[in-house]
């Protein structure tokens, strides 16, 4: 057409190229860290010309930030089936599965940043905040229903995610649903026992 209309259509060629670039970026960040890859590598892995990468993201930090955001949606979700234990187990399985993907490894890499990368740090903070907000909403609902005593949802999230990340990052074996069930059972039992002690 020549007016760029096709490039702006959702699902059009430009959207497909952008997705290929973001996917390649997440994979390269997972392999080499935020600063350990070249635009040429992104273009080669994405199967696009180098100018497509530069044209869409002339700034490396913004490219990494966009790649992280693109793949973050699933990590922020937690279902509400009415069964708190099942929802938390599913949540941990989803986190563990996500951590083993190129995106999850890229996010872990970005979280370890020590250099000055404000756009990436802000993006990681946003992703973690969204995940924390989803868990806070689910925990608040559980408290309202009487499934759980009043609890600091940030602390609960840390107690659940910490062992999950430890098992996944240690390697050597796959994180299983049984792992998630054990973690959830121990954490929930501890929270309930502590609340009972406070009441007595």
Q: Which domains does the chain show, CATH number per domain? A: 5-67 (1.10.10.60), 71-199 (1.10.357.10)
- Helix orientation angle between 153-170 and 84-99, rounded to the nearest 10 degrees: 40
User: Average pLDDT of the chain?
Assistant: 84
Lowest average pLDDT, out of 6-20, 94-108, 135-149, goes to 6-20
pLDDT tens per residue, range 24-50: 998 888 888 777 889 999 999 999 999
Give yes or no for a contact between 134 and 77, defined as CB atoms under 8 angstroms apart.
yes
The Cα 80–Cα 139 span in angstroms is 10
pTM summary value: 0.72
């Amino acid at each position: 057409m020549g007016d760029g209309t096709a490039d702006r259509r959702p699902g059009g060629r430009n959207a497909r190229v952008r997705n290929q670039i973001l996917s390649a970026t997440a994979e390269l960040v997972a392999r080499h860290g935020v600063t350990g890859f070249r635009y040429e590598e992104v273009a080669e892995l994405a199967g696009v010309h180098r100018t497509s990468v530069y044209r869409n993201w002339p700034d490396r930090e913004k490219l990494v930030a966009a790649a992280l955001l693109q793949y973050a949606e699933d990590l922020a979700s937690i279902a509400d089936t009415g069964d708190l234990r099942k929802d938390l187990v599913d949540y941990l399985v989803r986190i563990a599965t996500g951590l083993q993907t190129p995106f999850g490894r890229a996010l872990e890499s970005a979280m370890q940043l020590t250099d000055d990368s404000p756009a990436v740090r802000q993006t990681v903070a946003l992703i973690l905040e969204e995940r924390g907000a989803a868990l806070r909403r689910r925990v608040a609902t559980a408290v309202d229903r009487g499934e759980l005593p009043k609890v600091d949802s940030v602390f609960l999230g840390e107690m659940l995610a910490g062992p999950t990340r430890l098992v996944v990052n240690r390697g050597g074996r796959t994180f299983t649903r049984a792992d998630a069930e054990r973690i959830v059972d121990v954490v929930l039992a501890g929270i309930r026992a502590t609340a009972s002690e406070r009441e007595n």
